[in-house]
């Protein structure tokens, strides 16, 4: 048994949570230390993801973070490209795209995300649990330690474990915070008096407390009780979804191997190891369950048993319900392939939107309701409004020039030097010699320059006067 109490009767498992007694008390799970091929691959993936978590916030491009997810400040940097409030439409499209992607991915591939990528699973199974095994030993030793009285050994081990848990929670919380506020703000938090950085300090305390609580105490309850993604699995999965399944057709009737006895049993030898390793305390042989986070521990445990008893591996494996029922081991059904193609197209679309986004938004329009004005030197002028949105991290010292005919541009209101991530507005005259104006509405081009380079050319029109013709404003 992997729990401190009895796991629920298998006929009644759908009416119970594996980690709660009928009286509503928590059943503490003591999963046996996992090992095996899937576990090795999961460790590698976890190391890569933890490296991303801790080291990516340290990377800077041109003095700015490579990645920043400042939700409260509505400022995001993805691979060095800044996205601000002006990119709200992109943000909404990306979120909608991600929600559809998660839905499609789950329909086809079940809870692969939970087992391999979810931060909670990685922190719990690959960080906190590893420390626990190191200090307190495997499941049986942990149970024994918890039962024994508070002697020196128990106090030392428990204090050491909780101390390391707290340090880990602090480190993880700061790494998460670095993604949200940036590494510079985090360094400031460490170096300035608390009143000067009070908001960040409170955020750090909350992040640390939540991480510690989830790693040291709440554990699998996060997946089974809080996580909305986990709760929605029931409506997302269908009989073709690929999840972790026990092949009941092959395994049943289960039973222990008895030497020198004729037995008409399936391949499951009822060793209970798949249950003993489960971090959510369930028996996968009962079928797909809400609590299963697809961590693969039961696959590894069962494969090891199958090798020992000289039976084929894969009694518990990634499979769809239909595959188990029909025996047709076809993982990629036409539906799975179709959804995967839609997923790839969706991601390509989002990537296209993000990568083709311009650094600036410029608009120049002739000021409504105003006619051409006479200017000294036999010239005419029109008044225009200019608006510049600078999405970069650098100040944009914009200047305006008439591009396609002789004439001048004269800024009369505002300042069009635009601050990083800022907006500037101004008004300017375009002044053109009368001899260059051949019609009532002359197309003109205004070049917007920054640091001597043209960054955009805006096409608009110049309202003129031509001898013998009426003046009109189009």
* Helix-helix angle 37-55:297-308, to 10 degrees: 150
Which residue shows structure tokens 């918890």? 146
453-463 and 441-450 strand pairing: antiparallel
Binding span for ligand SF4 by CB under 6 A among 42-50, 265-273, 344-352, 447-455: 265-273
Rounded Cα distance between 141 and 29, Å, is: 13
- 286 versus 442: smaller Cβ distance to ligand SF4: 286
- 87 versus 323: smaller Cβ distance to ligand SF4: 323
Phi, psi of 451, deg, nearest 5: 50, 40
**Cis previous bond, 85, omega within 30:** no
Residue 44 in contact with residue 318, Cβ under 8 Å?
Answer: no
With CA atoms as reference, report the closest residue to 306 among 380, 234, 250, 261: 250
Compute CA 449 distance to the chain's CA centroid, rounded to the nearest angstrom: 38
Q: Which of 268, 389, 432, 440 binds ligand SF4 (CB under 6 A)?
A: 268
User: Hey, what are 271's tokens?
Assistant: 């060793």
270 binds ligand SF4 (CB under 6 A): yes
Q: Which of 107, 269, 343, 402 binds ligand SF4 (CB under 6 A)?
A: 269
242 binds ligand SF4 (CB under 6 A): no
Q: Which of 244, 324, 388, 400 binds ligand SF4 (CB under 6 A)?
A: 244
127 binds ligand SF4 (CB under 6 A): no
Binding span for ligand SF4 by CB under 6 A among 184-192, 267-275, 331-339, 384-392: 267-275
Residues 271-300 that bind ligand SF4 (CB under 6 A): 271-274, 277-280, 282, 284-285, 292-298
Q: How far is the CB of 96 from ligand SF4 (least distance, A)?
A: 30
H or E element in which residue 444 lies: strand 441-450
Q: How far is the CB of 333 from ligand SF4 (least distance, A)?
A: 22
User: Hey, what are 405's tokens?
Assistant: 């005919």
Residues 304-323 that bind ligand SF4 (CB under 6 A): 305, 315-316
Q: How far is the CB of 330 from ligand SF4 (least distance, A)?
A: 22
Cβ atoms < 10 Å from Cβ of 45: 15
324 binds ligand SF4 (CB under 6 A): no
With CA atoms as reference, report the closest residue to 157 among 172, 144, 171, 173: 144
- 36 versus 215: smaller Cβ distance to ligand SF4: 36
The binding site for ligand SF4 (CB under 6 A) comprises: 244, 246, 251, 254, 268-274, 277-280, 282, 284-285, 292-298, 301-302, 305, 315-316
């Amino acid at each position: 048994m992997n729990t401190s109490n009895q796991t629920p009767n298998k006929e009644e498992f759908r009416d119970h949570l594996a980690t709660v007694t009928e009286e509503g008390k928590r059943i503490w799970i003591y999963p046996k230390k996992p090992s095996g091929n899937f576990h090795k691959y999961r460790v590698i993936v976890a190391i890569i993801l933890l490296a991303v978590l801790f080291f990516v916030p340290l990377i800077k491009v041109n003095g700015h973070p490579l990645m920043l997810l400042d939700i409260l400040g509505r400022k995001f940097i993805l691979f060095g490209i800044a996205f601000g409030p002006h990119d709200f439409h992109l943000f909404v499209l990306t979120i909608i795209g991600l929600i559809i992607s998660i839905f499609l991915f789950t329909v086809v591939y079940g809870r692969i995300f939970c087992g391999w990528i979810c931060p909670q699973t990685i922190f719990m199974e690959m960080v906190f649990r590893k420390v626990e095994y190191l200090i307190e030993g495997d499941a049986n030793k942990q149970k024994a330690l918890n039962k024994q009285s508070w002697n020196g050994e128990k106090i030392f081990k428990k204090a050491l474990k909780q101390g390391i848990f707290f340090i880990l929670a602090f480190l993880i919380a700061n790494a998460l915070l670095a993604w949200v506020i940036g590494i510079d703000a985090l360094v400031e938090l460490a170096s300035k008096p608390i009143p000067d950085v009070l908001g960040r300090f409170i955020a750090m305390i909350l992040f640390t407390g939540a991480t510690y609580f989830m790693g040291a105490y709440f554990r699998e309850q996060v997946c089974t009780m809080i996580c909305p993604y986990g709760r929605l699995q029931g409506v997302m999965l269908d009989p073709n979804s690929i999840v972790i399944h026990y092949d009941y057709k092959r395994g049943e009737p289960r039973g222990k191997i008895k030497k020198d006895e004729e037995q008409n049993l399936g391949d499951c030898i009822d060793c209970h190891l798949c249950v003993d390793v489960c971090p959510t305390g369930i028996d996968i042989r009962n079928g797909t369950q809400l609590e299963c986070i697809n961590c693969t521990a039961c696959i590894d445990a069962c494969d090891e048993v199958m090798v020992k008893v000289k039976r084929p591996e894969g009694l518990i494996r990634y499979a769809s319900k239909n595959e188990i029922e029909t025996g047709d081991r076809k993982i990629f059904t036409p539906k799975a392939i179709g959804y995967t193609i839609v997923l790839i197209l969706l991601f390509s679309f989002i990537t296209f939107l993000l990568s083709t986004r311009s650094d600036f938004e410029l608009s120049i329009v002739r000021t409504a309701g105003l006619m051409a004005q006479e200017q000294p030197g036999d010239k005419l002028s029109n008044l225009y409004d200019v608006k510049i949105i600078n999405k970069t991290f650098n100040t944009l010292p914009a200047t305006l020039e008439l591009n396609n005919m002789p004439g001048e541009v004269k800024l009369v209101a505002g300042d069009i030097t635009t601050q990083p991530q800022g907006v500037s507005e101004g008004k300017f005259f375009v002044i053109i010699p009368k001899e260059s104006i051949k019609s009532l509405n002359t197309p003109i081009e205004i070049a917007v320059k920054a640091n001597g380079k043209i960054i955009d050319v805006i096409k608009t029109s110049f309202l003129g006067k031509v001898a013998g013709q009426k003046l009109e404003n189009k």
